[in-house]
Amino acid sequence: MTTFGTRLAHAIEERGRFCVGIDPHAALLEEWGLADDVASLERFALTVVEAVAPVVSVVKPQSAFYERFGSRGIAVLERVVTESRAAGALVLMDAKRGDIGSTSQAYADAYLDPTSPLASDALTASPYLGFGSLDPMVDACRAHGAGLFVLALTSNKEGPEVQHARDGERTVAGTILDHLRHANAGAAPVGSFGAVVGATIGETAEDLDFNGPLLVPGYGAQGGTTADMLRIFGSAARWALPSSSREVLRAGPDVTTLRDAARRGNDAVHELGA
């Protein structure tokens, strides 16, 4: 079994580090001249998959934008997962799940077990019921060669209220990063347990080099730049996955134009691995 960290390292080497969010906002559907319904959701999402999944290393569908259409929307999400992986992209399911006990296990079964129709290469998760609440997801990743990206230092203005709070000498975010460091100990070329760290957080005193990947929202249209990431992440930038959705998706609905936008995004963040 190949670990997610190993697959990610190979994908970055072969396809670059740019991550495209497949996020069918109602406003984007409208920009494409589509209605806000399931048929339009399917057309939008699968057009993006056709355009970008063959050329980028990671695609990141945001589950909520499919869930809002109920079971038919989830059926579209299943196709996004299946067709993206068939095209060679790793699928990072952006669902930010977090709960305890059997419920946490059920989330692990839904998104990380290869027998599930929603089985993805990796999942985003919230650790704010305590990092140990994620143990079923961590165990599933180890069993199935999947990955987990845990919220650590997010760009939203409400984040510091929790993430910067201190327990003695350590911040909550620092504690999360220490758990990830432990989970990735000894992994090569990189661990399978990553952190979500925003491109627009400004400065941080936290050590972001924990032998794991960084999912970096806030890049591009939201204001984050490659220079910001190089300054904030330091040596950890080599495992950064800058993520953008609107900047690419607004290039649609033409497949060639979408693909060119994804390639430009990839080229723009190439220096993070230098």
- For residue 205, report the phi and psi dihedrals to the nearest 5 degrees: -90, 0
Query: In total, how many domains does the chain have?
Result: 1
For residue 96, indicate whether it is catalytic.
yes
Name the pTM for this structure. Answer: 0.95
Domain residues for 224?
4-273
* In the block, residue with structure tokens 């919220």: 151
SS3 assignment, position 106: helix
Residue 52: which region, alpha, beta or left (left: phi > 0; alpha: psi -120 to 50)?
A: alpha
CATH number of domain containing 101: 3.20.20.70
SS3 assignment, position 7: helix
**pLDDT in the model for residue 274:** 58
pLDDT tens, per residue, the chain with 274 residues: 899 999 999 999 999 999 999 999 999 999 999 999 999 999 999 999 999 999 999 999 999 999 999 999 999 999 999 999 999 999 999 999 999 999 999 999 999 999 999 999 999 999 999 999 999 999 999 999 999 999 999 988 899 899 999 988 899 999 999 999 999 999 999 999 999 999 888 888 899 999 999 999 988 766 778 888 888 898 899 999 999 998 899 999 999 999 999 999 999 998 887 5
| Catalytic-labelled residue, pool 79, 96, 181, 250 | 96
Closest to 51 in 3D by CA, of 269, 253, 270, 267? 253
The most distant pair of C-alpha atoms in the chain lies apart, rounded to whole Å, by: 53
**pLDDT in the model for residue 175:** 96
